[in-house]
Every structure is written in C-alpha cells, then in structure tokens.
Structure 1
C-alpha cells in the first residue's frame, strides 16, 4: 500500500483527470469554462476562465453527485472543504461498478479524522487535515468500470462544499481490491458490550485503517480495552487471531498518552496518531473527547474468507481492577475487498450522528 518513491520517475501511459465544480465531468480541456456558479458575482466583468464556479451548494435534505466516472481508473487524491458545522451532517459515499449499495459511507468529518466538529491538524500519509478544514485523502480508490461519489446533506440548511477529485485513467487496476469505509457509533456503549468496528465482512481482502472519535463518560483513564481481529472463521472458535494489548497501544502510544507535566499529548505521524484532545471547559463541554487513527499501510491485516473487528472499553476502578465503560464511541473501518459491496451496518439518523455538548450561542 505504501508509495514506492523509487517509481516516481518512471514514465507511464496514464492520463490524469480532475473533477471539481469548475469541471464536473473531468473532461480534457473541460476546466474553467463555467459562466455560472457560486463565484459568478465575484468574477463579474472578468469573463470566462476566471474563478466562476469554485463550489456547490448542497440543498438541505438532498444528495449531490460529486463525481461520476465511466471508465477504468483510480482515484488518487480528494480535497474537500466545508464549514465545520457540516462535518457530521454531510455523508460521503462512494459506489463502485454501478452498484446500488455504497462501499464508502461515512460522515464527512470522520472520514477525514475530524469527527467532533472541531478542527484537529492531521499530518498522516493517507489523510491530511489542514487549517481550517482543508481535508485531503490519499487512499487509492481503484475501479474496473465505474465510480460514483456523492455527498448527502442531512441538515435543514444548505451546505456549501468546495472539492477536487483527482484520478487516473488508462491505468492497470487488475488485481486491485475496492476501498470500503464503514462507520459505527455506540452512544453510549451498552453495559458489558464491545464496540463493533467491523462486523461479518465476507470475501478476500486486507484491513488498512481505523479512525476513532472517543468520548469518555467516566472519570479516570479510559484506554485499557483491547482491539480484536477475528479472521477467517475465528468467531466460530470464539477467539481472535490478533488481540491487542490496550487502546493506546493499538494507536501507537503508551502509558495513557500522559507525558509527565503535560498530560494527554497530541501527536500525528504518517501511520498513527492521536491528533485531537478536547478537554472539558467547565461549562458546555463536560466530557473529555479524543480523536485517534491507525493506518495499516505498512502492516495490512490480510483475510481470505471473512473479518470481524471489535474493541473493548475499559478503565480503572478501586483495587486496580478494570472498570467497564459506557462511552460515546464512533469508528471508521477502512479495508480493501475483492468485491464492490459488503455487509454493512444501517447508517445512523441525523439525530444519532449529532455531537452533543458543544458550546451554544448565548440566549438573549
């Protein structure tokens, strides 16, 4: 999965195309032709070719098609931005090979490792989130015949979205898996339950990434829970092939992410990080919240028949014993699969996606 820098100089017969509001179809010589768009008033008098159509307005409770590609190819980069109020109410979906069911179905902010509606700088190899909400994805998204990307606005207000999707055609995608991304939220996690990250996916593929937005509902340390990968029939045995040693361990940290004298400490590296720590403000934000990612790019987890992934929520209580937690846990699971659709969960409603406890406007 990692990019081979040694091949950067190799000449290839691929074609680079880009879809944006300035070239909705990605056609060669098709950019900058707009005479109408969200920037038309600003460009008045400048003429065609200036910044006339930089964005789109996605109406309330509607779906907008970001891109439709009808030939073999590979999406190599997505850049997108919108106001942070939209990060949980806009849903990104991707459909491969004309299927009716999406392979990617994730709230926009969570896909780009910003699940809490508050900006966090993410400086990883696969996802970069830059000030103030410049979202970038470098996950390769190959397809054999066609691809369609949409965004759904679950809110009651129009959302303005800027985006650019870069892709290659005339490229060899034989033997490639399809990228899938699934979202789940446990709010709160039921008593004595584990949080399901991925459930009952059948086929051959490899698991490549986890993002988690973890809201803590109890005092004290919260990250003792183990992540477990049930590979190729493990569920029938009742035990996983891969069993982690703790939440902070899985995300590449240690000892509660607690640097002496600094407390919880954010970090962002190419393949793992905890870029976000939201602390209580003594008023509306009463719980600690965290954002973490782990990209299995150098170490993908391969499966040949099926895969299920879950994580425990454990803290500490008196007597140095584990405390079962009932936290607010959201996750995104990313994996490549040998088929364009997979078993996926029912997507939450707009109400179930809501980030509660955010600062409110003063009442008059």
Structure 2
C-alpha cells in the first residue's frame, strides 16, 4: 500500500485500496454502516425526519473520561482527520494513537497543539499537513500507517463535558511494509530552567525521520526572544566524549521557521504568515490586563527535507534574547513543543503522561477572575 497521492500527477492513478471513514455516524467504519443511528446528540433535532437525518453527528465525553475515537483491526493508512470542539477544550483534551497493539501511545498531544493551535485562541493555519479553519475546524493530513491495528482516543482532563465532532478517514488493502509509524510527542517547559535548553525529543531509539515541529512560545520578559538555535543530535552524537555537540545546528529560532530579522516587518512589527511547510500563524499581543505576555505559535514541516536517522535522535532548542554589550541573554520562557517523526517501531521513549495543571494557560477563560 502506498500513502495517499502527494503529487498532482498521482491523483489519476488507480490504486488497489478501499476508503473507509469513522465518525459518530459510523463508529466502526463498516461498509454501508453510515447514518444508521437511531439515537445520538442530534436525535431531538431529527425527531420529525427519522434515521439518516443527522441523528448522531457528535459525541459527549464526560469529565475525566477516555473516549475511543476509532479502532481499526487490519492494515491501513489513516489519511485525514477532521475534528472540532469548543476552544475551552483545546488544552484539556489529549489525543492518543496506539499502533499494532502497543500498550503505549505513539501519539500523545493536547488537542490544540496537535493542530497547531496551542494557546486556546483560534489561529488560521494553512499548511500542507495541518489546516485549522474558522472557527476551530481542525484537519490533519499526516499519513498514519499500521500493519495490524490502530486505536485512537481522546481523554477529557477537565471537570466539564466536551462535545466533539470528528471524522477519521483511512485506506485499507495492499502492502504497508516499509512504512514507518507516525509518532507525536508534547513537552512543556514553564518556565524554562535557568541556562537550560528546551527538550523537544529525548533519546529516540531506532531508524526513522523527523518531520515536524510546532512551538507554542510564551515570552516572559521584554525584548526579542528568538536568537536560540535548534539542534538535532543524530546516531551517537550524545555518546561522544562531549555529547553536547549535534550534527545539525540551526542559526536562530526565526531562521528555523523560515523567517528573518525577528519576524519584524517595518511599520508592522511581528507579522503572521502561513506557507505549505512553515509559518508563524499566531501572534497574541498583551491586552494590558490578564494577557500580559506575548505569545506565538510557529510550525515547521520537514516534508521536502526530512531529517533522517539510523540509530537515535534527540532534539532541543535554546531560548536566547539580548542584553547589554551585544551579549546573548538566556531566557526563562514558557515553551510547549510538539514533535512529529516516523519510526520503525510503534514504541518510543516518551515524556510522562500529561496532567491538566501542567497544560493550563494563564490568563484564559479558565481563570476564575475572567
């Protein structure tokens, strides 16, 4: 089986696969199984129309419960995920994916961060792999192959029920050999410890390639914040006598995300942008009251330029500004990262499971004073 066509020339090619889709209108994705519900969140609205008329468009996930979005028990490739819920839940719902019966998730990320909306405030994202459309229509086009089974869940960490609409489309049939498993990991440093780097990935073992970074970056001091370099430690770099030197070192945060000169367009200041592979779709400016710090959302998809590794991978990023005498100032910012990578196995070294307090965003509606 090949992943879905990625080039215009491929779209006309006939392929020996079948398309299935899981949603609240067809929880199993079964052929001919859609729209058969007789009860659901839309039953009252459809009471005069009956079955087939949007009786089950969504699900309600109770507080502190885990809901199974999808279970597939055959070789397949997930090609598209669409999902929406109220923005209050973007940091309190955690999406997880388990491949081929593994008991640990390969994907474990807060919902909003997975869709490049980590601050609980909508940002339009117009990229090849992630699209976030008004008002919180979240789309993923990351191919997610597996050889035997897949299980996707949402955990509600909050004290309030969450209504979720979703559709997960996948292709079955064919050969998935040679296709790696998609992983996504979230880490947050809040604040970043003094003179330390923010870990994006730590000691990933195996063969694979790194394909994406999203940062929700909260600035905790005045001045420019993006002089820090991102570094990729590949295939034994960490095991060298002085394991602090990577194979790939960037030249600055704005450089890594394809921008330049502080993202500062004369007369406009920080300027949002979206492109197929990189962008800064979100700049949240202080409101003079509860939102007292600047916040940024940035993405970088390594689709045309994946970072390949044969044995192991670690990734980190510095937080640097400026101080007197044209010297770098190490910063103690609020940095939340989501990293995407493909790996030859469904399990990888990962951070501790996420907790609601560690995900909370100061100054948002969850604050009792707002």
- Please name the residue that 1:312 is paired with: 318
- Please name the residue that 1:51 is paired with: 54
1:358 positional shift:
2.1
Tell me which of 126, 146, 149 is aligned to 1:146.
Answer: 149
* SS of alignment partner, residue 63 of structure 2: coil
* SS of alignment partner, residue 6 of structure 1: helix
Using structure 2 for the length normalisation, give the TM-score: 0.97
- Please name the residue that 1:297 is paired with: 303
1:318 positional shift:
1.1
Tell me which of 241, 245, 250 is aligned to 1:244.
Answer: 250
* SS of alignment partner, residue 201 of structure 1: strand
For 1:318 and 1:42, how far apart are their aligned partners in 2?
Answer: 64
Cα deviation digits, residues 246-292 of structure 1 (max 9, x gap): 00000000000000000000001000000000000001100000000
Aligned residues: 364
For 1:170 and 1:330, how far apart are their aligned partners in 2?
Answer: 37
1:363 positional shift:
6.3
In the superposition, relative to structure 1, how do residues 359 and 53 fare at CA in structure 2: closer, same or farther (>3 Å)? closer
Tell me which of 119, 122, 136 is aligned to 1:119.
Answer: 122
Higher mean alpha-carbon deviation, 235-244 vs 138-147, is at: 235-244
1:20 correspondence with 2:23: yes
In the superposition, relative to structure 1, how do residues 36 and 248 fare at CA in structure 2: closer, same or farther (>3 Å)? same
- Please name the residue that 1:30 is paired with: 33
Higher mean alpha-carbon deviation, 4-13 vs 156-165, is at: 4-13
In the superposition, relative to structure 1, how do residues 99 and 361 fare at CA in structure 2: closer, same or farther (>3 Å)? closer
Q: Is the 8 A contact 1:285 1:359 kept in 2?
A: no
Cα deviation digits, residues 78-123 of structure 1 (max 9, x gap): 0000000000000000000011100000000000000000000000
Tell me which of 209, 213, 216 is aligned to 1:210.
Answer: 213
In the superposition, relative to structure 1, how do residues 93 and 115 fare at CA in structure 2: closer, same or farther (>3 Å)? same
- Please name the residue that 1:278 is paired with: 284
For 1:133 and 1:156, how far apart are their aligned partners in 2?
Answer: 21
Alignment gaps of 5+ in structure 2? none
Write the mapping of 1:1-364 to structure 2, written as runs, cut at 5 A: 3-237=6-240, 238=243, 239-358=245-364
* SS of alignment partner, residue 188 of structure 2: strand
For 2:173 and 2:226, how far apart are their aligned partners in 1?
Answer: 46
Higher mean alpha-carbon deviation, 167-176 vs 296-305, is at: 167-176
Q: Is the 8 A contact 2:88 2:365 kept in 1?
A: no
Higher mean alpha-carbon deviation, 170-179 vs 250-259, is at: 170-179
In the superposition, relative to structure 1, how do residues 240 and 131 fare at CA in structure 2: closer, same or farther (>3 Å)? same
* SS of alignment partner, residue 175 of structure 1: coil
1:171 positional shift:
3.0
1:12 positional shift:
1.1
Considering only aligned residues, what root-mean-square deviation do their CA atoms show, in Å? 1.3
Q: Is the 8 A contact 1:120 1:276 kept in 2?
A: yes
Cα deviation digits, residues 4-39 of structure 1 (max 9, x gap): 221110111200000000000000000000000000
* SS of alignment partner, residue 176 of structure 1: coil
* SS of alignment partner, residue 259 of structure 2: coil
In the superposition, relative to structure 1, how do residues 310 and 99 fare at CA in structure 2: closer, same or farther (>3 Å)? same
Higher mean alpha-carbon deviation, 165-174 vs 175-184, is at: 165-174
For 2:87 and 2:54, how far apart are their aligned partners in 1?
Answer: 23
Alignment gaps of 5+ in structure 1? none
1:172 positional shift:
2.3
For 2:355 and 2:23, how far apart are their aligned partners in 1?
Answer: 28
Q: Is the 8 A contact 2:115 2:132 kept in 1?
A: yes
For 1:87 and 1:78, how far apart are their aligned partners in 2?
Answer: 16
* SS of alignment partner, residue 210 of structure 1: strand
In the superposition, relative to structure 1, how do residues 345 and 129 fare at CA in structure 2: closer, same or farther (>3 Å)? same
1:359 positional shift:
5.3
